[in-house]
């Protein structure tokens, strides 16, 4: 990092200043949880919560980059499922092979997306809808529509259990590293700024000689690769490659990104706020589980989804209101 610039915490948290809502909601939810449930703040709950949500966080970050260019990637859920099967097949060779293998499988779908969108000029929505179906079909074909058990003898399943440096599970550490690297890419590099410029005005970006296509290839490869990594986490955490998983993940990811203040039209966005968005969405389930655990209410998984939807709505409303008042003041 250039030495002349001090790290600006406010900018780090705030991104473009549009996403105060997500941080407030996240803080409120955490405080609520801490006040109401005894074990909410326990190390066990925190670690297992982060561990489980690492898949969604990683997919949301990839999605965030795609959306910032004004695109969309609907294929992430099926690609994760496909990659989980690939990783399960590769698990006997150990994590050293299965992890890159799963990521590459995801990135391969990202490459197909990039090719369709950039070279063939198919709108992202359509192109990634097609790869979504293709990846889902592909996952069923290579798995024979069965869950593929991982090799429990190898070190593959330790990804989600063994702790790195005896502190945190590897999944969480990997997610943290990816998030930090991509935050730097977005905030500090010309690639990141090109991504935002494309979303702001693709014509202008082209006429300024920015490497528009290269940046677009990057975001789709990244999104595919992130989905692949999520697939690896899935296989490792649940002990099996799951061809039928991943349904609706793309929508959760888009929700996390939007809650994080990223514009669906592109041009504005934040990695940190996207992570916060993903955490927020996960936390709603976590809290509902605690509430069920108290025995005062008993909500089925279906009702939990309804509540999460309502909560999402409230946060986005809060977000828009705050932006509106901010613009009036400015």
Partner 1 sequence: MHSLLSMKGIDKAFSSVPALRQAHLEVAPGEVHALIGQNGAGKSTMIKILTGVYRRDGGDVRFDDKPADISNPGQAQKSGIATIYQELNLVPLRSVTENVVMGYEPRRLGMLIDWRTAHRRTREILARFGIDIDVRAPLGSYSTAIRQLVAIARAVSLDAKLVIMDEPTSSLDDREVEVLFGVVRELKNSGVSVLYVSHFLDELFQICDRVTTMRDGQTVAVRSIAETSKLELIADMLGRNVEDIEAAGMTDLGGGEKQLGDVLLEADGIATGRRLFEFDLSVRRGEIVGLGGLLGSGRTEAGRALFGVDALTAGEIRLKGKRWAPTGPAGAIGDRIGMLTEDRKAEGIVPDMSVRENMTLALLPRLSRNGQIQTGRERQIVEEYIKALGIKTSNMDQPIRELSGGNQQKVLLARWLATEPELLILDEPTRGVDVGAKLEIQAIIRQYVDRGFGVVLISSEFEELVEGADRIVVLQDGHSVATLENPGITEDALVKAIAHHHTGEHA
Could you list the residues that contact partner 1 (CB under 8 A)?
A: 1-5, 16, 184, 188-191, 193-194, 196-197, 200-201, 203-211, 263, 267-268, 329-330
Residue whose structure tokens are 């809502």? 21
CB of 269 to partner 1, least distance (A): 10
- Between 16 and 151, whose beta carbon lies closer to partner 1? 16
- Contact of 286 with 47, CB cutoff 8 Å: no
- Between 161 and 184, whose beta carbon lies closer to partner 1? 184
CB of 279 to partner 1, least distance (A): 25
Report residue 280 as tokens: 């927020």
- Between 158 and 211, whose beta carbon lies closer to partner 1? 211
Q: Give the residue from 248, 244, 223, 231 showing the smallest Cα distance to 309.
A: 248
Q: Give the residue from 61, 96, 54 showing the smallest Cα distance to 253.
A: 61
CB of 62 to partner 1, least distance (A): 19
DSSP 16: T
CB of 45 to partner 1, least distance (A): 38
- Between 212 and 283, whose beta carbon lies closer to partner 1? 212
- Contact of 58 with 176, CB cutoff 8 Å: no
Question: Nearest 5°: CA angle at 313, between 126 and 13?
Answer: 90
- Between 120 and 329, whose beta carbon lies closer to partner 1? 329
CB of 136 to partner 1, least distance (A): 33
Where on the phi/psi map is residue 265: left (φ > 0), alpha (ψ -120 to 50), or beta? alpha
- Between 178 and 288, whose beta carbon lies closer to partner 1? 178
CB of 194 to partner 1, least distance (A): 7
| φ/ψ (deg, to 5) at 149 | -65, 140
DSSP line for 100-131: HHHHHHHHHHHHHHHIIIIIS---HHHHHHHH
Report residue 156 as tokens: 């593959």
CB of 278 to partner 1, least distance (A): 23
- Contact of 276 with 23, CB cutoff 8 Å: yes
CB of 267 to partner 1, least distance (A): 5
- Between 9 and 207, whose beta carbon lies closer to partner 1? 207
- Contact of 253 with 76, CB cutoff 8 Å: yes
Residue whose structure tokens are 């692949």? 228
- Between 80 and 217, whose beta carbon lies closer to partner 1? 217
- Contact of 11 with 19, CB cutoff 8 Å: no
């Amino acid at each position: 990092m250039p030495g002349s610039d001090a790290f600006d915490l406010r900018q780090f948290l705030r991104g473009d200043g549009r996403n105060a809502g997500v941080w407030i909601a996240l803080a409120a939810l955490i405080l609520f949880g801490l006040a109401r449930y005894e074990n909410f703040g326990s190390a066990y709950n925190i670690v297992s919560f982060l561990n489980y949500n690492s898949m969604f966080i990683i997919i949301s970050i990839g999605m965030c980059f795609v959306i910032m260019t004004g695109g969309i990637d609907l294929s992430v859920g099926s690609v994760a499922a496909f990659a989980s099967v690939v990783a399960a097949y590769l698990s006997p060779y150990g994590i050293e092979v299965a992890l890159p293998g799963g990521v590459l499988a995801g990135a391969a779908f990202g490459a197909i997306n990039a090719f369709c969108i950039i070279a063939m000029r198919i709108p992202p929505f359509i192109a990634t809808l097609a790869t979504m179906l293709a990846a889902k079909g592909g996952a069923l074909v290579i798995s024979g529509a069965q869950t593929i058990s991982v090799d429990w003898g190898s070190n593959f399943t330790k990804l989600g259990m063994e702790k790195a440096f005896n502190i945190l599970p590897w999944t969480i550490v990997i997610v943290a590293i990816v998030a930090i690297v991509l935050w730097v890419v977005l905030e500090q590099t010309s690639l990141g700024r090109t991504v935002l410029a494309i979303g702001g005005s693709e014509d202008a970006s082209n006429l300024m000689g920015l490497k528009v296509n290269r940046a677009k290839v990057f975001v789709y490869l990244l999104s595919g690769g992130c989905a692949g990594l999520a697939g690896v986490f899935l296989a490792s955490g649940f002990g099996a490659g799951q061809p039928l998983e991943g349904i609706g993940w793309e929508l959760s990811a888009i929700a996390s990104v939007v809650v994080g203040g990223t514009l669906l039209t592109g041009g504005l966005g934040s990695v940190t706020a996207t992570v916060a968005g993903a955490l927020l969405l996960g936390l709603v389930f976590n809290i509902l589980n605690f509430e069920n655990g108290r025995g005062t209410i008993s909500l089925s998984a279906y009702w939990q989804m309804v509540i999460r939807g309502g909560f999402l709505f409230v946060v986005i409303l809060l977000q828009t209101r705050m932006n509106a008042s901010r613009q009036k003041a400015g």
